[in-house]
Amino acid sequence: MKPEDTEPQGGGKRPQDHTGNNLTGARTLSSLQELRAAVNECKRCPLWKAATQGVPGEGLVPSALMLVGEGPGDSEDLRGQPFVGPAGGVLDQALHAAGLDRRSVYISNAVKHFKFESRGKRRLHIKPSTGEIEACRWWLAEELRLVGPKLVMALGATAARAILGQPVTVSQTRGVPTRLSASAHLWVTIHPSLLLRITDEAQRHKEFDRFVQELKDALAWIAKNPS
């Protein structure tokens, strides 16, 4: 993947919808302190209507390592923070096992509002559509520009799709650094929620260990590629 094949990080043309019209609601940020208010004001797709609030990224700025997931779940929607639900618990465990914590990285999602369907009193997460991913790429590009990561870890296919602007198969691209720009690369891996869906305990431990090793490998890659 060449740098010119991806959307500029925080600059370039504003994203467009399927009709070719410029999407409204985006604005360039001078700092990430403005992100929460900006996301809460955003009406570029319908997801804001049912969500409690927007969920911006958080963590170390600037950061050499940035983690990007799919979108907020029920807990994230209520608390306004990324990865604070069950999948976030798995991510915290993996970060700790790799010698990291939330304060040493930047964590965000491709989509900033919770998409769900109601089943009784429960709100179940639904995968965002291509249009919703595209509508939110502006904010992700702003985060990339302001965080300035050397390596972006896409947690799952939706995150990779949002960053690259095209469909991605995790199994085919996992663990292979792909250049995004002159200063940043992408590393695709699984979403931590996958580990919650593995019923076999031995297999779950195996996949967790592999995920931890990827985080360690990402740190080693950053150390070997300082510029």
Domain boundaries, the chain: 32-224
Greater model confidence, 5 or 63: 63
Contact in structure between 147 and 40 (CB atoms under 8 Å): no
How confident is the model over 111-140, as pLDDT tens digits? 999 999 999 999 999 999 999 999 999 999
Asked if pLDDT for residue 75 goes beyond 70, the answer is yes
Enter the pTM of the model. Answer: 0.88
Residues 131-153, mean pLDDT to the nearest whole number: 96
User: Which are the contacts of 186, defined by CB distance < 8 A and separation ≥ 6?
Assistant: 1, 151, 152, 153, 154, 160, 163, 164, 177, 178, 179, 180
DSSP state at residue 129: P
Alpha-carbon span 95 to 90, nearest angstrom: 9
Determine whether 199 is exposed, middle or buried from the number of CB atoms within 10 Å of its CB (0-12, 13-18, 19+).
exposed
Asked if pLDDT for residue 99 goes beyond 90, the answer is yes
Contact in structure between 179 and 78 (CB atoms under 8 Å): no
Greater model confidence, 52 or 6: 52
Mean pLDDT of the residues in the chain: 90
Q: What is the homologous superfamily of the domain 32-224 according to CATH?
A: Uracil-DNA glycosylase-like domain (3.40.470.10)
Identity of the amino acid at 154: A
Nearest CA to 66 out of 170, 156, 136, 144 is that of: 144
Alpha-carbon span 109 to 136, nearest angstrom: 10
pLDDT bracket for residue 25 (50, 70, 90): low
Asked if pLDDT for residue 57 goes beyond 90, the answer is yes
Contact in structure between 211 and 192 (CB atoms under 8 Å): yes
Asked if pLDDT for residue 15 goes beyond 70, the answer is no
pLDDT bracket for residue 11 (50, 70, 90): very low
User: Which are the contacts of 91, defined by CB distance < 8 A and separation ≥ 6?
Assistant: 67, 83, 107, 155, 192
